[in-house]
Structure 1
Amino acid sequence: MLNKTIRIGTRDSELALWQAHTVQECLENLGHKTELVPVKSTGDIVLDKPLYELGITGIFTKTLDIAMLNDDIDIAVHSMKDVPTALPKGIVEAAILERANVNDILVHKGLDFLNSSGTIATGSLRRKAQWLHKYPDHNVVDLRGNVNTRMQKLTNSNWNAAIFAAAGLERIDLKPENYIDLDWMVPAPAQGAMLVVAKEDDDFCKEALAKLNHEKSEICVHIEREFLRELEGGCTAPIGALAKIEGEEIQFKGVLFSLDGKEKVEVIKKVTVGAEQGLGKICAQEVLNNGGEEVMKEIKTMMK
């Protein structure tokens, strides 16, 4: 059966293609034949509306989901933070690759503005809320498009800086010299991780991809996504989560912010590796009980 060609679906942005090529290389090293099938997603085409206004969870993954269910592709490669916590019926997680840099970074034109007024660009509610929490006097503007487009928009604008995921810029060698690590910012659940999905009934692809799975990364992102799923209930909100394995211990930090960044509910927990079952859910419940429920209600009202 090694003669079956695995068709790899991917978005056609430079970063998405880099991710797909990485998976392609891994599979070919295992002796599989592969073919890349680039597909355009609505998230890439509609650039004039903030993501959360488009009203679709999984806007970047939807097109590939449809292509897979229509049997145009066999597997799809995603930035895991873009993938909804509930996958479509018939599609399953097949591999989570070893996680890259989880941090957000600030690409800037000089840092004098940090102590005065400034304009920061980001399309993410999570980054916006955390930035305003720390710098309440700054102005945050919306920034959309793939990584290259966003970098170009920053260059052509009068903004002071823009926030990016470090992993995305590092993967396609776009990380400039004028950046700082935002290690105080809690990343998006599963940031820096790549997910490969396959059809539930496709044992051939599932077996091939199982060899690419990185167990420690899988444990951490599952905790983060469980935290997200429990909190969101189908609504986009400023949520950050990070699980890390240090020796025999898993350290977890989760945050929920109000849209304006003024309110913050945080949870920090440690458990032994192997005892992480339900950790994301427990931490989310703690956030909801400590004021998070009111914050989520307010967000849902404002998003209507």
Structure 2
Amino acid sequence: MAEKTIRIGTRDSELALWQAHTVEKKLNDLGYKTKIVAVKSTGDVVLDKPLYELGITGIFTKTLDIAMINGEVDIAVHSMKDVPTALPIGIVQAAVLERANTVDVLAYKGNLDFLEGNGTIATGSLRRQAQWLNKYPTHTVVDLRGNVNLRMQKLADNDWNGAVFAAAGLERINLAAENLVAIDWMIPAPAQGAMLVVAMGNDNYTLDALSHLNDIETEICTYIERQFLKTLEGGCTAPIGALARYNDEEDTIHFQGVLFSLDGKQKLEVDKIVPIEEWKKLGYFSAQEILNSGGAQLMAEIKNKLKK
């Protein structure tokens, strides 16, 4: 097949463009020709509704999926945690890049005294909201939407004590808040800190190019986390956290998975270390443990509440 220019589809936020340019540079270094095509998504346009009220999972990926299916772009670059566990027919996972920082961080104003009493924290994530309320039941959590820069600006403009961000997102665009502290007790979103590149399943030239960018350790760990999410049927909206880490000295995987009620009062968790050979079904079996210990009922309640 003749050499072609690989068109990289991306959202036009600063973070999305950073991710697209990162993939572009890696492909260029390997000798491939590329072109960046910015596409606006509904998730960026509709900022006045919480994500789960928009009624679709993958709101940030849907516009790019359509552009790819229509032949306007060849690949799309996403924060993997935003991507639904089931990809549209015809689109495949082509590469998972080496993972960045997985932790959530708190950007706060003033000092941290509010942690001892009443505070107001902003986040658009049900997972972060539930885990925060589980640890700080006297606090109030308010909704926060928009790209990273906009959310940081909203924090400055409002009388909230702080807001929760993914460390990887802030690090990628060198956006340092005045006061930042790692929330090391919070289990991240499945695949947090990882970048996913998708392409059309029949585009062999592009798939071959992207195969050189894949990081196998990140691919395995994010597969486990997303399998856990998919088995719980969480989509992108339920309060579900998952983190798999590979220990190369012992050749084991350490997996932590959590499901919370929306108010944070109920918490179901798994925490296990297994030999690497057991990775393929680890997410599935961990999710089954949670479903069998009250998780099925809790998931039904969550879906019911979100419908209202």
Matches within 5 A, 1:166-205: 166-205=167-206
Which residue pairs with 1:264 in the alignment? Answer: 267
Correspondence list, 1:1-304, <5 A: 1=1, 3-109=3-109, 110-232=111-233, 234=235, 236-247=237-248, 248-304=251-307
- 1:303 positional shift: 1.3
Unaligned 5+ segments in structure 1 are none
Task: Give the letter aligned to residue 79 of structure 2.
Answer: S
Answer yes or no: is the 8 Å Cα contact 2:125–2:237 preserved in 1.
no
Q: Offset of 1:76 from its aligned partner? A: 0.4
Whole-angstrom distance in 1 between the partners of 2:62 and 2:304: 26
User: Aligned equivalents of 2:237 and 2:293: distance in 1?
Assistant: 19
Q: For residue 264 of structure 1, what is the amino acid of its counterpart?
A: K
Contact 2:15 / 2:169 at 8 angstroms: preserved in 1?
A: yes
1:21-59 C-alpha deviation (Å, 9 max, x unpaired): 000000000000000000000000000000000001100
CA–CA distance in structure 1, aligned partners of residues 176 and 2 of structure 2: 38
Structure 1 runs (4+) deviating above 4 angstroms are none
Kindly state the Cα deviation for residue 196 of structure 1 after the two structures are TM-superposed: 0.1
Could you list the per-position Cα deviations for residues 130-149 of structure 1 after superposition, in whole angstroms to 9, with x for gaps in the alignment? 00000000000000000000
Aligned-partner SS, 1:60: helix
Which AA in structure 1 matches 2:97?
A: L
Deviation at 1:2, TM superposition (A): 6.6
Q: 1:87 to 1:149 in 2, by over 3 A?
A: same
Q: Displacement, 1:233?
A: 5.6
Task: Give how far 1:291 is off.
Answer: 1.3
Distance 1:263 1:34, change over 3 A: same
Shift of 1:176: 2.1
TM-score norm. by structure 1 comes to: 0.98
Q: Which amino acid aligns with 1:25?
A: K
Q: Distance in 2 between matches of 1:187 and 1:209?
A: 26
User: For residues 78-103 of structure 1, what are the alpha-carbon distances to aligned partners after superposition, in whole Å with 9 as ceiling and x for unaligned?
Assistant: 00000000000000000000000000
Instruction: Please tell me the residue identity of whatever aligns with 2:288.
Output: Q
Conservation of the 8 A alpha-carbon contact between 1:8 and 1:37: yes
Mean CA deviation greater in 284-293 or 162-171: 284-293
Matched letter for residue 54 of structure 1: L
Question: How far did 1:272 drift?
Answer: 1.2
Shift of residue 175, structure 1, vs aligned partner: 2.3
Distance in 2 (CA, whole Å) between partners of 1:283 and 1:275 is 12
Aligned-partner Cα distance in 1 for 2:235–2:25: 35
Q: Would the aligned equivalents of 2:84 and 2:235 in 1 still touch at CA under 8 Å?
A: no
Using the size of structure 2 for normalisation, the TM-score is 0.97
- Structure 2 gaps of 5+ residues are none
> Is contact 1:2-1:33 (8 Å) kept?
no
**Paired AA for residue 170 in structure 1:** E
CA RMSD of superposed structures (Å)? 1.0
Q: 1:205-251 CA distances to partner (integer Å, 9 max, x unpaired)? A: 00000000000000000000000000026583100000000121100
| Alignment-mate amino acid for residue 159 of structure 1 | W
What SS class does the counterpart of residue 78 from structure 1 fall into?
A: strand
Quote how far apart the aligned CAs of 1:20 are: 0.1
